[in-house]
């Protein structure tokens, strides 16, 4: 608990101990940042607990189809070892030769959603290869999707909005307030989309508190999830920033746990 609120971190990346440093460094290079944390399940639990976080949505990303099932097994095993503290999202890859099998395997692992990262995985959100993923997930599995990048055009609103309209029964969580590095533009374009929620991960470091507050309220607190993008940012500092924003108590309750609990049936 933190400040009397049950807290769920809805956006955490974890890796096996032997590759965590390399995986974290690769993400740092991609984004030009320096991660604050180690990227392992034990480190996440230790830092998150110290910050007052109660549960964690954990995931990782496959950069090749052959990685999909092994990553999903790793996430599943980390969840089982967490004594109920973690909830797992699996990964998929649009170039898979057996997408149906990958989805069924993901579900059999007990995972509750799917994480896609178009910019790192190298596909456009509206690429025809992705339609099979959306067809298989609609009405079954929410998709946590990296959204936005001013350097590329894989996951920006011009691609996301048509896809959301074409799959109205697909639940999508747009990471980084719907558009990393294009926060204002994305929120103006996406707010009010009925099958879209957003998380606030990897946004606070770059935005003044008043702008973050404005964007959150543009979407509506009932559509926003708290997320740290662990291991990139310190959980303690992310929560401190959020509480310094001066939101209403019902908004904090929604953002910190109510929204994601409803989406995932926790």
For position 156, what pLDDT does the model report? 98
Name the band, by pLDDT with cuts 50, 70 and 90, for residue 9: very high
Rounded to whole angstroms, the Cα distance separating 38 from 47 reads 10
For position 2, what pLDDT does the model report? 96
Rounded to whole angstroms, the Cα distance separating 156 from 164 reads 12
For position 121, what pLDDT does the model report? 96
Q: Which helix (H) or strand (E) holds 263?
A: helix 259-264
Rounded to whole angstroms, the Cα distance separating 181 from 202 reads 9
Contacts of 233 (CB under 8 A, 6+ apart): 35, 36, 37, 201, 202, 204, 205
For position 115, what pLDDT does the model report? 98
Name the band, by pLDDT with cuts 50, 70 and 90, for residue 223: very high
Name the band, by pLDDT with cuts 50, 70 and 90, for residue 74: very high
Name the band, by pLDDT with cuts 50, 70 and 90, for residue 193: very high
DSSP of 6-71: --EEEEEE---TTTHHHHHHHHHHHHT---SS--SHHHHHHHHHHHT--EEEEE---SSGGGHHHH
Cis peptide before 214 (omega within 30 of 0): no
What is the gyration radius of the CA atoms in the chain, in angstroms? 17
Mean pLDDT of the chain: 97
Rounded to whole angstroms, the Cα distance separating 25 from 3 reads 33
DSSP of 74-85: HHHHHHHTTTTS
Name the band, by pLDDT with cuts 50, 70 and 90, for residue 167: very high
For position 191, what pLDDT does the model report? 98
Token representation of residue 131: 């339609």
**Percentage, residues of the chain above pLDDT 70:** 100
What's the rounded mean pLDDT across residues 185-194? 98
């Amino acid at each position: 608990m933190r400040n009397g609120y049950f807290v769920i971190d809805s956006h955490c990346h974890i890796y096996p101990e032997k590759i965590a440093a390399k995986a974290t460094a690769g993400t740092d290079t991609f984004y030009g940042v320096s991660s604050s944390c180690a990227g392992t399940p034990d480190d996440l639990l230790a830092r998150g607990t110290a910050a007052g976080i109660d549960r964690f949505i954990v995931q990782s990303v496959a950069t090749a189809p052959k990685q999909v099932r092994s990553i999903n097994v790793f996430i599943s095993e980390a969840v089982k070892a967490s004594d109920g503290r973690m909830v797992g999202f699996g990964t998929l890859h649009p170039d898979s030769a057996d997408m149906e099998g990958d989805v069924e395997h993901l579900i059999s692992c007990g995972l509750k959603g799917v994480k896609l990262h178009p910019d790192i995985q190298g596909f456009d959100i509206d690429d025809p290869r992705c339609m099979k993923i959306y067809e298989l997930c609609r009405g079954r599995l929410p998709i946590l999707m990296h959204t936005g990048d001013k350097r590329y055009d894989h996951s920006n609103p011009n691609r996301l909005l048509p896809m959301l309209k074409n799959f109205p029964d697909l639940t999508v969580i747009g990471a980084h307030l719907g558009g990393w590095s294009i926060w204002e533009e994305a929120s103006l374009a996406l707010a009010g989309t009925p099958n879209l929620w957003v998380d606030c991960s990897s946004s606070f470091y770059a935005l003044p508190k008043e702008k973050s507050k404005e964007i959150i309220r543009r979407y509506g607190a009932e559509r926003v999830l708290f997320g740290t993008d662990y291991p990139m940012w310190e959980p303690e500092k992310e929560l401190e920033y959020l509480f310094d924003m001066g939101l209403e108590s019902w908004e904090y309750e929604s953002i910190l746990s109510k929204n994601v609990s409803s989406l995932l049936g926790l």
